A and B are shown apart, each in its own frame.
Chain A
């Protein structure tokens, strides 16, 4: 399994740390209802198919990455830096 880091190029999966679904990007407001926090922290669509998740180039540039990926075929559809996405 390989990811193409936008900064470092194509690298083996072992350089990266996987965090979880990109849901983690959408942190609720501090005063959001407990249900919103429960959903943010715990509940997942957990799709068998195309998903968006978060990886970290741990053994590389330290970029957090938004990865579009297929959980059935393991196809990597796209990799972008979180920082670019958020800018």
Chain B
């Protein structure tokens, strides 16, 4: 019911919306919650476990019941708090966790079974028969649990992540936050003021208080104008969700969720705000009192009833009773009465409550129960003179206020209990586990009057300025109410029926007592056993009451009982926002070679190689699958010439007088003896003695080397070289830098490679020895030529500055094709190298040693090198190690399969008999049979043996012959020739 003349809504702007398909009308400035309440929609959802009818309790993000599914961008978004969803034209929302309808929910039978569904009941049953757990019980539990439904359609709407930096982040734009921001900004600090609400002002929007002689909202408007003039970045709709290290805060901005047509705007943005100091002015949250039937729709927090009245002009009921244990609850009764709403009783649990009121006041009285089916009709009150029934369609409950200490505790410190306000307040700054640089103030620090908040906000602003080395002036504070906090704790009224604590998880006071009875007396045990505080609201409205009930059950005090751990996020954050940018290909950078376009032009399917994309093969007509193309490309390389982009290999330029000595230290073999103009294969170990990587090392000049790494290990090797140079061998004078992206490099390989190169070099090649390198000119461009081979044929790699890569690649391929050659892709590259027994990270998988690979010869005995000492550990060599071997299929049509394991023929395939496994395998068009590389226990002594190759996953069981790990041209005649 709307109250004329009340509220900050714009009654000239009506907004049509639907709830469960029914049309309603609200106003600009409404939330879905306020509009529904104004429409008289008391029932808004069904509870998690018992499917009890539930209505709104709060007006903010702590709401446990008002969870709806909102249609947005073509799908339903579950678990949206109606209190946080601003109303817009055309909004469509549906209730959740009910079937077939909200009013008649079949699952409400659960409520009848409540005696059997208490805390932890599922740990004690559903155990027999065993197969029924996954077959029956668990699916039933899963279907009953959960609230909203997550649609399977991909979330396609835009989201963003943003960085911001500032001197001071003020969290909360209530009176304390505004005053802190004003104080800091007036002194010239760079301030961000973030508030969860769409509109700044905090409780001043929900109260009738005056500030400085004007209505609260007017004072807020003036202050905001000044803040904007001072350049303060005001961020409404922004919840600071977490306090991380070194002044980094996470914050969620609801950028466009309030718009009927959000267009391209991000729906939400996740901010990383780096602040030199922060002020926590997040206010306080009202808590409820547990009494039987306290979850009936119509039972609400008193402060929320006031907020709905004063901010949205909505009466939460027509006959309202108020139940309080503190003076703040009186305000609700007074404001309602002043607005012309009948207050049927003010029930104050305190016998000594001080109040003159023109309505019925019951002192020393308690609510014992509630009546009504889907909505409240009356409450039963226990007074000194017996029980009586008070008619009410709304009961406003205040159990006191809890400072919003959460962010102050995100680093692990626990809040402390202040007896005089009966609440936890933020830990003392500087205590272990507090958030460095975070200054709590105002209601978040337990200061509850408006005047107190203004003063404390200024104090916090000045404190921040001092920490920022800025001079600040205390300004005169506006006049405001300064009522003292008067509260007498009351957590629970015991009586017949269930009294709910955590409404979102359906936890009752009985559950907490049962937990205590069963020995779950630590607050963490109680939480975990009852699930108290583990639902959507994280127990923001109920945790303190729950631990008070636990404290009573265990005979301890509330502070001795303590709190559970406060963890981010303060309010739930959508994965789309925190994961913005990750969708689709945004998850990782895409690295493209200079020949990428040319490969696509040739219709090559591109495959991922780490972050790179490389062509799989170059299909031609008449080649139905990759296999035909691959076989042709291999045959072409072996018989004519092939071109392959090898730019993805890491290239590191090492220069300096001590470069050679440095390389001697990082490679197992010796590089200082390499002559300028020569290239050597090199092996690098990790310091733990395992092989890290292999590659080539070219000596371009006396103090100038260019080394290559595998594609996969390029980053690791660069980091490693920097470490060795800076940390282990600062005595050596050299510099190393990655030049991977600076050069485009192409393999030209095959018997016709030299003839092809002669066509493009400005000076035709004379003799160029295998493993030589030199500077050349081609088409007038300075280039480098290496005679190296990863195919086993006569091979060259030609490198040009990357900007010429595209042109050179196209030229090389065109020339190759004119000679009967072709471009070849990763599939052919892999076959060529397996035929030669060359290694990739399939073999160098981090668990192999030089011994395993048969590369002991590359381990120099004359020098120290990285990994030498650890490689001498007994476990890293010897006959128990699995050694690299070649494997040949023996039967016609049999295939060697990578990932298969090797067993002695006829042996039972159990781990004890497992001799090894296949790392790489292919069909060799050159040999006309299936071959592979693998590791085999004591493999070098087994050449010629026949073994059983077993792949149970794919049903392959064949006989293979063990060979040396080189199948093609074992003496290297073709490669060197």
Judged by CB atoms under 8 Å, the answer to whether A and B touch is yes
Interface SS of chain A:
mixed
Q: Which of B246, B248, B688, B730 contacts A76 (CB 8 A)?
A: B246
Chain A residues near B245: list those with CB within 8 A: 1-2, 13, 74
19 contacts between A and B (CB under 8 A): A1-B246, A2-B247, A2-B248, A19-B723, A24-B723, A27-B687, A34-B872, A34-B873, A37-B869, A37-B870, A41-B688, A56-B722, A58-B715, A62-B722, A64-B727, A73-B432, A74-B411, A83-B726, A86-B726
Bound: A73/B245 CA distance, A: 9
Chain A, range 1-53, C-beta contacts under 8 Å to B: 1-2, 12-13, 17, 19, 24-25, 27-28, 30, 32, 34, 37, 41
**Across the two chains, which residue of chain A brings its CB closest to B872?**
A34
Task: Give 5 A-B pairs besides A2-B246, A58-B715 with Cβ atoms closer than 8 angstroms.
Answer: A30-B868, A41-B687, A62-B722, A64-B722, A64-B727
Chain B, range 239-285, C-beta contacts under 8 Å to A: 244-248, 272, 274
Decide if A63 touches B726 in the complex (CB within 8 Å): yes
**Across the two chains, which residue of chain A brings its CB closest to B165?**
A10
The residue among A58, A63, A64, A83 with the most chain B CB atoms within 10 A of its own CB is A64
Q: Which of A1, A17, A24 contacts B244 (CB 8 A)?
A: A1
**A-facing mask of B844-877, CB < 8 A → 1, else 0?**
0000000000000000000010001110110000
**Across the two chains, which residue of chain B brings its CB closest to A58?**
B719
Chain B residues near A41: list those with CB within 8 A: 687-688, 870
Task: Determine if B433 is an interface residue (Cβ-Cβ < 8 Å).
Answer: yes
**A-facing mask of B80-116, CB < 8 A → 1, else 0?**
0000000000000000000000000000000000000
Bound: A19/B728 CA distance, A: 14
A1-B246, A1-B248 are known contacts. Are A64 and B726 too (CB-CB below 8 A)?
Answer: yes
**Across the two chains, which residue of chain A brings its CB closest to B687?**
A41
Shortest CB distance B410–A (Å): 12
A2-B246, A76-B246 are known contacts. Are A30 and B727 too (CB-CB below 8 A)?
Answer: no
**B-facing mask of A65-78, CB < 8 A → 1, else 0?**
00000001111100
**Across the two chains, which residue of chain B brings its CB closest to A64?**
B726
Chain A residues near B872: list those with CB within 8 A: 34
A56-B722, A83-B726 are known contacts. Are A73 and B411 too (CB-CB below 8 A)?
Answer: yes
Bound: A64/B730 CA distance, A: 12
Bound: A19/B722 CA distance, A: 13
Chain B residues near A25: list those with CB within 8 A: 727-728
Bound: A1/B868 CA distance, A: 36
Bound: A13/B247 CA distance, A: 12
Shortest CB distance A33–B (Å): 10
Bound: A18/B248 CA distance, A: 19
Bound: A72/B412 CA distance, A: 10
Chain B residues near A75: list those with CB within 8 A: 436
User: Shortest 10 CB-CB distances between A and B: which pairs?
Assistant: A30-B864, A2-B246, A1-B245, A86-B730, A74-B245, A64-B726, A83-B726, A82-B727, A37-B869, A82-B726
Q: Which of A27, A56, A82 contacts B719 (CB 8 A)?
A: A56
Bound: A1/B726 CA distance, A: 24
Shortest CB distance B736–A (Å): 9
Number of A-B residue pairs having CB atoms within 8 Å of each other in the complex: 66
Shortest CB distance B820–A (Å): 46
Chain B, range 720-748, C-beta contacts under 8 Å to A: 722-723, 726-728, 730
Bound: A52/B465 CA distance, A: 32
Shortest CB distance B25–A (Å): 47
Bound: A76/B246 CA distance, A: 8
Chain B residues near A56: list those with CB within 8 A: 719, 722-723
A1-B244, A86-B730 are known contacts. Are A17 and B433 too (CB-CB below 8 A)?
Answer: no
Decide if B248 touches A86 in the complex (CB within 8 Å): no
Chain B residues near A54: list those with CB within 8 A: 723, 727
**Across the two chains, which residue of chain B brings its CB closest to A4?**
B246
Shortest CB distance B662–A (Å): 14
Shortest CB distance A85–B (Å): 9
Bound: A58/B722 CA distance, A: 10
Q: Which of B432, B715, B868, B870 contacts A72 (CB 8 A)?
A: B432
Chain A residues near B411: list those with CB within 8 A: 73-74
Shortest CB distance B106–A (Å): 50
Bound: A27/B723 CA distance, A: 12
Shortest CB distance A26–B (Å): 10
Bound: A64/B497 CA distance, A: 65
Bound: A17/B719 CA distance, A: 9
Bound: A33/B728 CA distance, A: 19
Chain B residues near A28: list those with CB within 8 A: 869
Bound: A74/B723 CA distance, A: 24
Bound: A1/B433 CA distance, A: 15
Shortest CB distance B477–A (Å): 35
Bound: A56/B493 CA distance, A: 60
Bound: A37/B876 CA distance, A: 15
Bound: A82/B432 CA distance, A: 30
Chain A residues near B730: list those with CB within 8 A: 83, 86-87
Bound: A64/B728 CA distance, A: 11
Shortest CB distance A77–B (Å): 12
Bound: A21/B725 CA distance, A: 18
Bound: A1/B655 CA distance, A: 35
Shortest CB distance B878–A (Å): 16
Chain A residues near B274: list those with CB within 8 A: 2, 12
